[in-house]
Amino acid sequence: MSNTTQLGLPLVQAAQAQKHVTVNEALMRLDGLVQLVLVSKTLTVPPVAVVDGSCYAVPVGAVNAWSGQEGAIAIGANGGWDFVAPQRGWRAFVADEGEAAVFDGADWRDGFVTLSPHNAGMAMRVVEADHV
């Protein structure tokens, strides 16, 4: 089976039976990756109850269903996990940290919104001040 270059979406083959399976798999992956929200990037044990569409960055030391998937994005799908390798420049909102992150090709950079070719980045911070 062939996949797309950027998101690894499965492509329907000529004369393929059950095309709906391939199309549904691609749609589930798109649903997880477009406007990417990572529930967490530090959780090493997968949640017991898999929520379809929930996404996690799999950290080093992950166990159980995530074992051997370090660095991938785990997307909840049909009661299990679909794993996608993030690409340099992908952005995500990390829900348990409350901030954006950018993937630099090796790791997620917290607070960054852009990256240069040499991984220098522009960070975004919110500062609140009380006027008394």
- What are the tens digits of pLDDT across the range 90-123? 999 999 999 999 999 999 988 877 777 777 777 7
- Where residue 78 falls (left for φ over 0; alpha for ψ -120 to 50; beta otherwise) is left
Give the residue-averaged pLDDT of 63-89. 94
Ordered DSSP codes for the chain: --B-TTT-PBPPPTT-S-HHHHHHHHHHHHHHHTT-EES-SS--S--SSPPTT-EEE--TT--GGGTT-TTSEEEEETTEEEEE---TT-EEEETTTTEEEEE-SSSEEETEEEE-TTS-EEE---------
Q: Domain ranges in the chain? A: 36-123
Q: In this prediction, what percent of the chain has a pLDDT beyond 70?
A: 98
The 10s digit of each residue's pLDDT in 10-47 is 778 888 888 888 777 777 777 777 789 999 999 999 99
pTM for this predicted structure = 0.78
